[in-house]
Amino acid sequence: MESTSHAFKDNVHEALRDERLQRALGKMKVGFQGNRRRAIERLPEFEALRDEGRAIKDHVLEHLDFYLERFESRVVEAGGHVHWCRTAAEARETIARICRDAGARTVTKGKSMVAEEIAINDHLEREGFEPIETDLGEYIIQLRREPPSHIIAPAVHLSKEDVAEAFYAAHRDLDPERSLVEPTALISEARAMLRQKFQQADVGITGANFLIAETGSTVIVTNEGNGDLTQTLPRVHVVLASLEKVVPTLEDASTILRLLARSATGQEFSAYTTFSTGPRRPGDPDGPQEFHVVLLDNGRTAMLGTEFQEMLRCIRCGACMNHCPVYASVGGHAYGWVYPGPMGAVLTPSLIGVDAAGHLPNASTFCGRCESVCPMRIPLPKMMRHWREKEYAAGLTPATQRWGLGFWAWFARRPGLYHLGTRLAAGLLGRLGRRQGRLRRLPLAGGWTDWRDMPAPEGRTFQQLWAERRESARREDAR
Amino acid sequence: MSEARDRILGSIRTSLKRGPLDGERLAAAEDRLAAHRRNLMPSRARAAGEEGIELFVRMATEVAATVERLATPQDVPDAVAAYLAQHNLPAELRVAPDPELDAVPWERRPTLTVGRGRAEDRDATSVTGAVAGVAETGTLVMASGPAHPTTLNLMPDTHIVVLRTDRIVGSYEDAWDVLRARGALSRTVNFITGPSRTGDIEQTIQLGAHGPRRLHILLVDGGDGDGASA
Amino acid sequence: MADTPPAQPRVGLFVTCLVDIFRPTVGFAAVNLLEKAGCRVEVPRAQTCCGQPAYNLGDRADAADLAKRVIAAFEGFDYVVAPSGSCAGMIKEHYAELLKDDPDWGPRAHRLRHRTWELVSFLVDVMGMERVEAAYQGTVTYHDSCSGLRELGVREQPRRLLGTVGGLSLRELPDAEVCCGFGGTFCVKYPEISNRMVEDKAEKIEATGADMLLAGDMGCLLNMAGKLKRRGSRVQVRHVAEVLAGVAGEAAPIGEAAVRKG
């Protein structure tokens, strides 16, 4: 997917003025936050499970080669194939080749952020295949030819009117007078349209929430059942997954699954959590004949052993963005690429470079709410700060910020001059603002005063007053 | 391809500053896999016996499955017929070719048309068994195989599940123990918790997105073993 | 919980640059409260800035430099107390990481962190203060500053003490724990987003119907007061220390002019 992260500020500008988006974000925030809170209130062990989840993933990352090799052997034992891909391009070519070898025409897809990352749909279309998104949210945005705005609720930025517009425009064979006012009507229509596609599909591509080394199983977590239809009906099932998704055992997956749905949507468990191991067995009445796992690196192994390793614990629940005040203000598209919100702010520079994605880790107040809700205890603000450190070291920080900061630090290292300077500033601004107690405009501070008043300083600094107080106390004692 | 594999494994080892695992670390990792120890178990997941059944019923009902308790498998046909009538559904079933479901006296309700096998597009209602029910979240565990086509879980609008109460366990881990005892994992293991749903339209939950709109669980008492295991 | 403090502990007040420049009243209120709690308060003249702006910009060198100065100026005290969760958090939670590779300053940073406190949590959790002798007739709402809340666990302590202020009625602010949008340089780097966040906050504050907004961090207070005044709101804004010390009413609220007599 092409990134517009460099245009973050322009994206933000538009997003803040988009009333439909703002209404949708308001709903999203309340829904996800409240649901999560209710779910974790019902599970007293939730905090302890977060520690378990972190420990499991940290262990895996330290032994990632071992677990990937074991996973591969088990997949092969079960009759499947594993394809190792270093880059997005390799993964695209591999998947296209599998589709070609299968003589495929229609390819159904379950929701997969990695698939967005490698832009597989465009590639499949160019190669002559017809990829169909089957997750309702993904289907809607595919019709609108736009990217997802949230990693688990891809169409969260849309109103039902937006969806109806998209359906009227795309489902031309249906009666144009039909009513699509009710969400139930939209769901029924999507279900009917996609049912045909599910059955026509030659290849079904899903992502994977987990890869289980013990058994060679891949796991998808959905509510609609589309992922299951995608992976059961076609002749060929392709799983596309980034390699840090591996966990050791079924028990480890169970532990992390207790965290996932609760953190994501506030459900106790998703409607469909499905473990796939190889193709159909002899005697199975249904199921795919071929099973392929495409393991993607695309920058993950480069994060190992660095200060960004902890980001690889992410289980893509979306809790961070559900609780982020910046995401709640601007929505996912503003971030400009596949992964929005706090986890996107940390991961995107790793995957597409900090020069392209530099705004993302900078557009944060470090309020820390993301880290406080992350089921895997990922220190997101700390890693955003690391990106800022890298930018600073590489000279990418904007000049005004460097100089402003440098100027401040110069004074701060010299207490005498600092106290003099602060006295002057407090005195001047205090005098300017004395009449109303605030300044409506301040040269060089448009970033502040365009939007809010600047309260005036009291006029003398604390250090000044403290020194005077001590001086007069000394004179009192001397008397 | 194997070049990419080597490069990726090499990249991992370079990042972790070591060669392939060996010696004690390898042995420890192998042991961890082989032992597949349970991590922290929530107390809710330890529900057993009648308490476990009640928890299962409560959790499944919360997620809009419906549950009916039956005294014996002989009562299944009447319960199914009544359910279909109640919801104005055609008296036609696609039943899993499961020996336990074969033993159900379908002939008691001769107006029920019973087909067997995998789901066909026109099938409105399926009937399957389940390997286990997990009390902690009201979750059904299905394993694909000759006796259980996966499509029966997904394609029809209504899915009826016949579950013996002595197959209700407390936790997912208990369910994995049951599955491991059966041998290698099937192609598909479904953990199903309530009917299909989506929140993709303005965050309101709608049932029946792509999978079944209705999930009806017939909990049958009896079976040869004791009550539910912990 | 802290160990039992010495009788009459020596406290170094970390004034913070914003209190120093904008509102000395808060500094004096802090001294007042600390002395009432039985502390001897000193204000090292060598203090300037805790280094957080540099740290959050990615400028570790300047941040480390400033951190060393703070450590040197304060490590002789029994406690370091700041009327700010943000600056206390910087010293307590980040200095050790910043200086972790320095064999001399690393341990010194580590020692200092155990003695560094945000003001209200110091009064309650260390000095055991259970009530204040102050009165304020009116309704108050309280904003939880992010660093204080999430880095230092400051949440119950100000509410507990406010509960003992005679005549004061506390109305919980919906989304009290949501960031106000200040974030140091964030508010000028991404002013549009910051504005949206502070507008949301101001709406919620006004909707409580409270007379006064309190918080424990000058950055948040300047931001929220600036927005409230721009909106023509009558809500008065002060630092929580002012009310707890019983000096609310001595200085004009933040962003308002002193009422002229006569």
Rg (CA), chain A: 27
Contacts of C198 in chain A (CB under 8 A): 451-452
Q: In this structure, are B59 and B25 located in the same domain?
A: no
Q: In this structure, are B136 and B109 located in the same domain?
A: yes
Identify which of A180, A146, A127, A119 has the alpha carbon closest to the alpha carbon of residue A21. A146
User: For position B88, what pLDDT does the model report?
Assistant: 96
User: For position C3, what pLDDT does the model report?
Assistant: 62
Q: Which residue has the tokens 């991992």?
A: B12
| 3-state DSSP percent of chain A in helix, strand and coil, to 5 | 55, 10, 35
To the nearest whole Å, the CA of C130 is away from the closest chain A CA by: 28
**Spacing of C-alpha C6 from chain mean position:** 24
Average pLDDT (A76-87) is: 98
**Alpha-helical runs (H) found in A285-414:** 300-303, 319-323, 325-330, 341-352, 354-357, 359-362, 369-373, 380-393, 399-412
Contacts of B208 in chain A (CB under 8 A): 187, 191
Answer yes or no: do A273 and B191 touch at CB < 8 A: yes
User: For position B227, what pLDDT does the model report?
Assistant: 42
Answer yes or no: do A437 and C257 touch at CB < 8 A: yes
Q: In this structure, are B68 and B178 located in the same domain?
A: yes
Q: Is B225 domain-assigned?
A: no
Neighbours of A473 (CB within 10 A): 10
Q: Give me the residue from A66, A67, A224 closest to B209, CB to CB.
A: A224
User: In the predicted model, is pLDDT for residue C5 greater than 80?
Assistant: no
Q: Give me the residue from A83, A136, A252 closest to B198, CB to CB.
A: A136
Q: In this structure, are B155 and B112 located in the same domain?
A: yes
User: For position B225, what pLDDT does the model report?
Assistant: 42
User: For position B223, what pLDDT does the model report?
Assistant: 54
Q: In this structure, are B75 and B184 located in the same domain?
A: yes
| DSSP output for A162-226 | HHHHHHHHH-TTS-TT----SHHHHHHHHHHHHHHHHHH-SEEEE--SEEETTTTEEEEEESSSH
Answer yes or no: do A448 and C45 touch at CB < 8 A: no
User: For position B202, what pLDDT does the model report?
Assistant: 81
Contacts of C151 in chain A (CB under 8 A): 368
Q: In this structure, are B53 and B12 located in the same domain?
A: no
**Spacing of C-alpha C23 from chain mean position:** 12
User: In the predicted model, is pLDDT for residue C261 greater than 50?
Assistant: no
- Euclidean distance between CA atoms A345 and C186, whole angstroms: 15
Contact C185, A401 (CB under 8 A): yes
Q: Give me the residue from A63, A86, A251 closest to B8, CB to CB.
A: A86
Average pLDDT (C30-55) is: 97
- Best to test chain B binding among A156, A258, A303 (most B CBs inside 10 Å): A258
- Euclidean distance between CA atoms A339 and A113, whole angstroms: 8
Of all residues in chain B, the one with the smallest CA distance to A300 is: B12
Q: Is B227 domain-assigned?
A: no
DSSP state of B170: S
Of all residues in chain B, the one with the smallest CA distance to A286 is: B149
Q: Is B41 domain-assigned?
A: no
Answer yes or no: do A390 and C54 touch at CB < 8 A: no
- Best to test chain A binding among B159, B210, B213, B217 (most A CBs inside 10 Å): B210
Of all residues in chain C, the one with the smallest CA distance to A362 is: C186
Q: In this structure, are B7 and B73 located in the same domain?
A: no
Answer yes or no: do B193 and A270 touch at CB < 8 A: yes
Of all residues in chain C, the one with the smallest CA distance to A323 is: C178
Label residues A120-152 b or e (16+ Cβ within 10 Å = b): bbebbeebebbbbbbbbbbbbbbbbeebbbbbb
Answer yes or no: do A364 and C189 touch at CB < 8 A: no
Q: Is B43 domain-assigned?
A: no
CA atoms within 13 A on the CB side of C221: 32
Q: What CA dihedral angle connects B102, B107, B111 and B113, to 10 degrees?
A: 20
Kindly list the structural domains of chain C, giving each domain's residue range(s) and its CATH number in brackets, ordered by start. 10-125 (no CATH), 130-250 (3.40.50.11810)
pLDDT tens by residue, C145-160: 999 999 999 999 999 9
To the nearest whole Å, the CA of C161 is away from the closest chain A CA by: 25
**Angle of helix A64-77 versus helix A46-62 axis, rounded to 10:** 90
Contact A153, A224 (CB under 8 A): no
Q: Where are the domains positioned within chain A?
A: 43-298, 400-478
User: What is the layout of strands, in order, in the sheet containing C236-239?
Assistant: C166-172, C135-142, C212-215, C236-239
User: For position A1, what pLDDT does the model report?
Assistant: 81
Which of B105-109, C1-5, C257-261 shows the lowest mean pLDDT across its residues?
C1-5
User: pLDDT band for position C262 (50/70/90)?
Assistant: very low
Judged by DSSP in three states, A266 sits in: coil
Q: Give me the residue from B26, B151, B210 closest to A224, CB to CB.
A: B210
pLDDT tens by residue, A354-383: 999 999 999 999 999 999 999 999 999 999
Q: Give me the residue from A362, A364, A458 closest to C24, CB to CB.
A: A458
- Euclidean distance between CA atoms A266 and A319, whole angstroms: 10
Any idea what the CATH number is for the domain that residue B183 is in? 3.40.50.10420
**Residues forming beta bridges with residue A85, ordered by sequence position:** A296
Answer yes or no: do A277 and B185 touch at CB < 8 A: yes
Contact A350, A302 (CB under 8 A): yes
Q: In this structure, are B116 and B211 located in the same domain?
A: yes
Q: Which domain range does residue B18 map to?
A: 1-35
Answer yes or no: do A285 and B117 touch at CB < 8 A: yes
A118 Cβ contact partners less than 8 Å away, ≥ 6 residues apart:
A88, A91, A92, A240, A296, A298
- The mean of the pLDDT values for chain C is 96
Chain B CB within 8 Å of residue A155 CB: yes
pLDDT tens by residue, A321-345: 999 999 999 999 999 999 999 999 9
Contacts of A224 in chain B (CB under 8 A): 196-198, 209-211
Answer yes or no: do C191 and A330 touch at CB < 8 A: no
- Best to test chain B binding among A224, A243, A262, A296 (most B CBs inside 10 Å): A224
Q: Is B228 domain-assigned?
A: no
Identify which of B173, B29, B38, B34 has the alpha carbon closest to the alpha carbon of residue A59. B29
Answer yes or no: do A363 and C182 touch at CB < 8 A: no
Q: Is B40 domain-assigned?
A: no
A17: phi then psi, degrees, rounded to nearest 5: -95, 0
Of all residues in chain A, the one with the smallest CA distance to B171 is: A254
To the nearest whole Å, the CA of A393 is away from the closest chain B CA by: 22
- Euclidean distance between CA atoms A324 and A194, whole angstroms: 34
**How many structural domains comprise chain B?**
2
Identify which of C187, C129, C135, C189 has the alpha carbon closest to the alpha carbon of residue C160. C129
Average pLDDT (A8-12) is: 96
Average pLDDT (A61-79) is: 98
Low-confidence ranges of chain B (pLDDT < 70): 1, 222-230
Q: Is B226 domain-assigned?
A: no
Chain A 193-222, residues with CB within 8 Å of chain B CB atoms: 194-195, 198-199, 213-215, 217
- Euclidean distance between CA atoms C175 and C208, whole angstroms: 11
To the nearest whole Å, the CA of A452 is away from the closest chain B CA by: 33
C42: phi then psi, degrees, rounded to nearest 5: -125, 155
To the nearest whole Å, the CA of B154 is away from the closest chain A CA by: 7
User: In the predicted model, is pLDDT for residue C206 greater than 80?
Assistant: yes
End-to-end CA distance of chain B: 46
**Alpha-helical runs (H) found in B121-167:** 151-154
Contacts of A195 in chain B (CB under 8 A): 121, 210
Q: In this structure, are B29 and B94 located in the same domain?
A: no
- B and C touch per CB criterion (3+ pairs under 8 A): no
Of all residues in chain A, the one with the smallest CA distance to B7 is: A86
Answer yes or no: do C22 and A426 touch at CB < 8 A: yes
Strands B113-116 and B92-95, sheet pairing: parallel
Q: What percent of chain A has pLDDT over 70?
A: 100
Q: What percent of chain C has pLDDT over 70?
A: 97
Answer yes or no: do A224 and B9 touch at CB < 8 A: no
Average pLDDT (C94-120) is: 97
Q: Is B77 domain-assigned?
A: yes
Chain B CB within 8 Å of residue A223 CB: yes
Q: In this structure, are B7 and B62 located in the same domain?
A: no
User: For position A477, what pLDDT does the model report?
Assistant: 85
Chain B CB within 8 Å of residue A304 CB: yes
Answer yes or no: do B209 and A223 touch at CB < 8 A: yes
Identify which of A184, A204, A79 has the alpha carbon closest to the alpha carbon of residue A136. A184
pLDDT tens by residue, A174-207: 999 999 999 999 999 999 999 999 999 999 999 9
Chain B CB within 8 Å of residue A66 CB: yes
User: For position C249, what pLDDT does the model report?
Assistant: 87
| DSSP output for B32-73 | HHHH-------GGGG--HHHHHHHHHHHHHHTT-EEEEESSG
Interface size, chain A vs chain B, as Cβ–Cβ contacts under 8 Å = 266
Answer yes or no: do A27 and B202 touch at CB < 8 A: yes
Answer yes or no: do B15 and A233 touch at CB < 8 A: no
**Alpha-helical runs (H) found in A238-324:** 250-264, 300-303, 319-323
User: For position B226, what pLDDT does the model report?
Assistant: 41
Strands B197-198 and B206-207, sheet pairing: antiparallel
Q: In this structure, are B113 and B192 located in the same domain?
A: yes
Chain B CB within 8 Å of residue A316 CB: no
Of all residues in chain A, the one with the smallest CA distance to B176 is: A250
- Euclidean distance between CA atoms A206 and A109, whole angstroms: 6
Of all residues in chain C, the one with the smallest CA distance to A400 is: C189
User: For position A478, what pLDDT does the model report?
Assistant: 84
Q: In this structure, are B180 and B99 located in the same domain?
A: yes
Q: What percent of chain C has pLDDT over 90?
A: 95
Please provide the CATH number assigned to the domain covering A43-298. Answer: 3.40.50.10420
Strands A272-276 and A217-222, sheet pairing: antiparallel
Contact A5, A360 (CB under 8 A): yes
pLDDT tens by residue, A393-424: 999 999 999 999 999 999 999 999 999 999 99
- A and C touch per CB criterion (3+ pairs under 8 A): yes
Answer yes or no: do B201 and A183 touch at CB < 8 A: yes
Contacts of A456 in chain C (CB under 8 A): 255
Answer yes or no: do B189 and A277 touch at CB < 8 A: yes
Contacts of B194 in chain A (CB under 8 A): 271
Judged by DSSP in three states, A38 sits in: helix
Neighbours of A306 (CB within 10 A): 13
Q: Give me the residue from B150, B153, B210 closest to A226, CB to CB.
A: B210
